[in-house]
Amino acid sequence: MSRLERTFETLRRRGRPGLVTFTTAGDPDLERSAAILRALDRAGADVLEVGVPFSDPLADGPVIQRASERALRAGATLARVLDLVAAVRPDISAGIVLFSYANPIVRMGTTPFVERAASAGVDGVLVLDLPIEEADRFRDRTIEAGIDPIFLLSPTTTDARIRRAAELGRGFLYGISRLGVTGARDAIATGAEALVARIRSATDLPIALGFGISRPEHVAEVGRWADAAVVGSALIEVIARAAPDRVLDDVERYVRWLRGESGATAPSATMPATAGER
């Protein structure tokens, strides 16, 4: 049983929704990015989704785009992201999922990437723009290396493609609650529950739901239908707005607040002046 499978089995047994956090590796720099991952784990995030910065993140809204720009300026590359994961893995109990566009992996080479990811302790990989029809070989290589391949499903995904993703996927499936780019919203998309129901009808794999989640009530609402909520843009906004000497404290406070811990309060940097963006 993989680490991700054990994580979701434990969540189901405890009867609570999981929390998946997304951060861009190398934002604001590689050293502080490593410290942020450790802080997320300390605060109780169940899965850490680590984004590989990319120059053309077409599915991401302005908050994550700016995070990628900061990380690239700080020297982040796929190879350095894998080194970062290897460095923090001994300190982290949460599952680690690498989130990437296909281009950086193709440039490194699929076999070297999978070998380095497995050696670094990556538990799962989600390649955003890898079509499900072309995913078989990559999926087989990841599974052979002990890495769970994770697939993205949207409200417009056909039932046939949902079934195919369920056949190929491991660990969990990632449903996006709305069309368009990533970004925090004031409310969960109205079609989110229906999407989860469609996925449930095709598979017993856990489902994590993202895009637009930024508050404890969002996590609780999503937890009524899905196994976990994914928070990305709002967390990155906390990182971007925090004072350098406060960023780790603010990250921990934010995650504890999202999880609904007794007495936990939101950091002052929780929300941008206007609702931003995953």
Please give the average per-residue pLDDT across 227-244, as a whole number. 95
User: pTM score, two decimals?
Assistant: 0.92
pLDDT tens, residue by residue, 251-260: 999 999 999 9
Higher pLDDT among residues 77 and 180, named by residue: 77
Lowest mean pLDDT among 93-97, 129-133, 193-197, 266-270: 266-270
The pLDDT value given to residue 276: 37
Decide if pLDDT at 9 tops 60: yes
pLDDT category at 130 given cuts 50, 70, 90 is: very high
The pLDDT value given to residue 190: 66
Decide if pLDDT at 274 tops 80: no
The pLDDT value given to residue 33: 98
Domain 11-149+215-258 top-level CATH class: alpha beta
Decide if pLDDT at 240 tops 50: yes
pLDDT category at 58 given cuts 50, 70, 90 is: confident
Q: What is the 3-state secondary structure (H, E, C) of the chain?
A: CCHHHHHHHHHHHHCCCEEEEEEECCCCCHHHHHHHHHHHHHHCCCEEEEECCCCCCCCCCHHHHHHHHHHHHCCCCHHHHHHHHHHHHHHCCCEEEEEECHHHHHHHCHHHHHHHHHHHCCCEEEECCCCHHHCHHHHHHHHHCCCEECCEECCCCCHHHHHHHHHHCCCCEEEECCCCCCCCCCCCCCCHHHHHHHHHCCCCCCEEEECCCCCHHHHHHHHCCCCEEEECHHHHHHHHHCCCCCHHHHHHHHHHHHCCCCCCCCCCCCCCCCCCCC
pLDDT tens, residue by residue, 10-29: 999 999 999 999 999 999 99
pLDDT tens, residue by residue, 165-206: 999 999 999 999 754 444 444 446 567 899 999 999 999 999
Percent of the chain clearing pLDDT 70 (strictly above): 92
Lowest mean pLDDT among 32-46, 52-66, 88-102: 52-66
Q: How many CB atoms lie within 10 A of CB 158?
A: 10
Q: Which residue reads 């109780």 in tokens?
A: 44
Domain ranges of the chain: 11-149+215-258
The pLDDT value given to residue 264: 84
Q: Which residues are annotated as catalytic? A: 49, 60
